[in-house]
Amino acid sequence: MPGNRAVAYKGPRHVEVIDIDYPTFELKDGPGVDPANVGRKVPHGAIVKTVATNICGSDQHMVRGRTTAPVDLVLGHEITGEVVEVGPGVEFIKVGDMVSVPFNIACGRCRNCKEGKTGVCLNVNPSGYGSAYGYVDMGGWVGGQANYVLVPYADWNLLKFPDRDQALEKIMDLTMLSDIFPTGFHGCVSAGVKPGSTVYIAGAGPVGLAAATGAQLLGASVVIVGDMNEQRLAQARSFGCETVDLTKGGPAEQIEQIVGEPFVDCAVDAVGFEARGHGADAGEAPATVLNSLMEIERSGGQLGIIGLYVTGDPGAVDDAAKKGSLSLSLGTGWAKSLSFTTGQCPVMRYHRGLMNAILHDKVSIAKNVNAKAISLEDAPQGYADFDSGTSVKYVLNPNGYIDA
């Protein structure tokens, strides 16, 4: 069996690259694996040799100790790879296929999957709805920041790239299809972005920049990105976005200076539960983004909430927030007849179309999020640099495909 190295959570702000077992077509016991999933047979699965696997802001929440993730949980839900083995129940995916792996794990058989709600599959996580690789409380499917990873329901889940050489040429863009590009795009679709819209994106991390890219692809007239990190705001400006510096206060006045009124047509939350208040010295205030978006969103508008919110946060600022209970101004939302869309992006709804946009040079998502490839062994430093606020989307290169 080939060796298998992987990035594992070792405690708050501590990750290590460790040796793990090569995947088999059975879910074994391990850190975070739901007891009801132990021994689960996966004849419908494929083993994927990782071509690229990215560090995500959602991973950082766990690494900061802001979830109930167990020590030794193997991280990584943004996976692109080459199929090296298939189970006896796989009919269409073949060894040698180059594929994108949606971060949602979905069976393709349940009511939600059949309705296109693959982010809340009913059959992959015994303790709740929805699942993802290498993520806390999502069934215990082993993460993909590794040399090899098991993908269940391969015929359903995997998006095959049409040409191997073309895929490798554009791999830094295509690796964004597993999560952040569809997620950012979903935020904009959920917010009702259409040609001519004015759009505000809260957060200039990689997901926020992906949302800004999605808004441009959908035809927005103005895309405004708000953040407290000047390096990340500069990255947003590099591909045509307007920016709001939230160290100077709330967004409304600055938005008015850009579009002539303190409102936008569409608003997206790409921050989530570790949000800070506005102003240079503001501390953590997790409801800030949601409340500010309700204020600046035009009456009758829509909010796309793609920032992560959790029900277990041991590092939260108060007891309510530790359980995911935030002080929302729901009255504002009700009075303005606002609509809200939350939850995991159903990646399959978008990834084929976004793949075609990449392959036909309609979008440069890797450039917009400032993607940088590093080795698997350099992952701990990548996590530390990303946590410090650098405006880089780190892409791990475990098997040397990107260099090739």
Mean pLDDT of 81-94: 98
Q: Please, what's the largest Cα pairwise distance for the chain?
A: 63
CA–CA dist 239, 342 (Å, integer): 27
The CATH number, out of the four listed (3.40.120.10, 3.40.50.720, 3.40.50.1110, 3.40.50.300), of the domain defined by the range 181-341? 3.40.50.720
pLDDT in tens, 94-105: 999 999 999 999
- Looking at residue 163, what DSSP letter applies? -
- If we measure between CA atoms, which residue out of 19, 17, 11 comes closest to residue 62? 11
The confidence score (pLDDT) of residue 400 equals 96
Cα–Cα distance for residue pair 190/246, rounded to 1 Å: 24
The domain spans of the chain are 5-179+346-396, 181-341
Residue 261: the pLDDT is 98
DSSP letter string, 24-78: -SEEPP-TT--GGGTTEE-TT-EEEEEEEEE--HHHHHHHTT-S-PPTTPBP---
CA nearest to 90, candidates 24, 152, 45: 45
Question: Is the model's pLDDT at 394 over the cut of 70?
Answer: yes
In sequence order, what are the residues at sequence separation of 6 or more whose Cβ sits closer than 8 angstroms to the Cβ of residue 378? none
Mean of pLDDT over the chain: 96
**Res. 403 pLDDT band, cuts 50 70 90:** confident
User: ∠ CA(103), CA(167), CA(368), 5° rounding?
Assistant: 70
pLDDT band at 129 (very low <50, low <70, confident <90, very high): confident
Give the tens place of pLDDT for each residue, 135-186.
Answer: 999 999 999 999 999 999 999 999 999 999 999 999 999 999 999 999 999 9
173's tokens: 């863009």
Across the range 339-363, mean pLDDT stands at: 97
CATH class of 5-179+346-396: alpha beta
Which has the higher per-residue pLDDT, 2 or 151?
151
The DSSP secondary-structure symbol of 384 reads H
pLDDT of 404 over the 70 cut: no
Place of tokens 């441009």: 216
Q: Is the pTM of this model over 0.85?
A: yes
Read off the pLDDT of residues 12-56 as tens digits, 9 standing for 90 and up: 999 999 999 999 999 999 999 999 999 999 999 999 999 999 999
